[in-house]
Structure 1
Amino acid sequence: MISIGTSGWSYPHWQDHFYTGAARKDWLKFYAERFSTVEVNGTFYRLQSPSTFKKWYDETPPTFRFAIKANRYLTHNKKLLDPKPSILIEKNHAEALGDKLAVVLWQLPALLKKDLPRLQGFIDALQQWPETRHSIEFRHPSWFDDETADCLTQANVAVCLSDAETWPMWDRVTTNLVYIRLHGHARAYVSSYSKSELAYWAERIVQWNTQGKDVHVYFDNDAECAAPFNALALLGIS
């Protein structure tokens, strides 16, 4: 399966460019008519209520899928320590998405260096949530090695391939899920991807897919509304 979308959909500055003519209350419906998936970025900053998740579930087609970015309390405040309670809270809220929840993304702080025992404790705690897939976005290069990759492979947790101007990308696949975030190669959160850059990613996506891997791609270059148009273009060539 190839799933391509954007990181979030409810951006006011998209109104005159992507959502032209659509009422704001209909934006998710408008989005879901064009894409089969979305990554919810707002859950990183504020834990959403089960009723909100249920509303999103009801507003989208049966085949639509959500990826959610886990709340920063565990990843950035606690830095993965004592993970079980936080994971259970996240799970209890997100269960309202039912079978539409495809992946949970855990983004680590840029200053959090490799600590394998800490990572292993977190991964062990993820066993409480086997109903969905998990991906980790590492932003410090000290994690980028075989030891970390082996830990993830054994637990069936995916590396997030995170392309941006301001931090390095770990170009590693550890499971049959390939999870990609395209933040903006020249300017993080802003710049549009060129035709040649999109063609590069399209070729890799097709290769992974022919290998039997599920591929999720989310564009996070939202600041100037490049994300939805880049996603539509990639859909057209993948």
Structure 2
Amino acid sequence: MSSFDIGDVYIGTSGWSYPDWQQHFYTGIARKNWLKFYAEHFSAVEINGTFYRLQSPDTFKKWFDETPAAFRFALKANRYLTHNKKLLDPKPSVLIEKNHAKVLGDKLAVVLWQLPGQLKKDPARLERFIDALQQWPEVRHSIEFRHLSWFDDQTADCLAQAEIAVCLSDAKTWPMWDRISSNLVYIRLHGHTQTYVSSYSNSELSYWAERIARWTNQGKKVHIYFDNTAECAAPFNALDLQAMLKNL
């Protein structure tokens, strides 16, 4: 396999502030320094808490200041638009997200929009949502579909026209749409055998490493975040994947 630039790959975890990580990953590190410590090991993080509540611009500014210039954030959009409103009337909610996060500047690389598992395919609703995302052209966008009805060429073509990435979402409890729709590849690894819990084996990580290397050789940017956070597998899986990629 030809060599590739690992600088085109952003590897991290979904969130970083988990109390039970203290005795495993953050040993001896004061909690106020966790993000700084995390950023010494990884090039990016997916902000997960924003899905449950909007963060203040002051909080985003603090995170910006605590991370290196080359560090990148992926922002998981708040569930109000995706889960409460089911993507209806999207423009005001998209602008609220944008205005809150704008202090992250060029460190904000991607916004992830996770759709609820019960939301079935609705092409018109998706097109209106994609139109609303045009208000936020400064970042890339990825959509995590969890209902099988979306997994078709019509949806993929709609995303491709807007350069929006399908989120490749590996979990035990919902299906993964293994489809590339843009020059951004966005991957969430939630735990293949037990969602949010199970660690990925060396063979499973090797499978993803080989695919990532192939995508970067094709000129794609790759973001991959481990969401198997419940028992602290995520940071160690991320470290192992980084090591594999550096050795390819």
Superimposed CA distance per residue, residues 150-189 of structure 1 (whole angstroms, 9 cap, x where no aligned partner): 0000011000000000000000000000000000000000
Listed as ranges, the gaps of 5+ residues in structure 1 are none
Q: Which residue of 2 aligns with 1:25?
A: 32
Identity of aligned residues (%): 79
Q: Which residue of 1 aligns with 2:148?
A: 141
Aligned residue pairs, count: 238
The normalised TM-score by structure 2 is: 0.96
Within 2, Cα distance between the matches of 1:47 and 1:155? 26
Following superposition, the deviation at residue 128 of structure 1 comes to 0.3
Within 2, Cα distance between the matches of 1:224 and 1:126? 35
Within 2, Cα distance between the matches of 1:122 and 1:222? 30
Q: Which residue of 1 aligns with 2:3?
A: none
SS at match of 1:150: helix
Q: Does 1:56 align with 2:54?
A: no
Superimposed CA distance per residue, residues 32-77 of structure 1 (whole angstroms, 9 cap, x where no aligned partner): 0000100000000010001100000000000000001000000000
SS at match of 2:113: strand
Q: How does 1:94-173 map to 2 (within 5 A)?
A: 94-173=101-180
Q: How does 1:1-238 map to 2 (within 5 A)?
A: 1-238=8-245
Following superposition, the deviation at residue 145 of structure 1 comes to 0.1
SS at match of 1:128: coil
Superimposed CA distance per residue, residues 10-47 of structure 1 (whole angstroms, 9 cap, x where no aligned partner): 00000000000000000000000000100000000010
The normalised TM-score by structure 1 is: 1.00
Residue type of the alignment partner of 1:25: K
The list of structure 1 runs, each at least 4 consecutive aligned residues, that deviate by more than 3 angstroms after superposition, is none
Q: Which residue of 1 aligns with 2:5?
A: none
Following superposition, the deviation at residue 133 of structure 1 comes to 0.2
Residue type of the alignment partner of 1:37: A
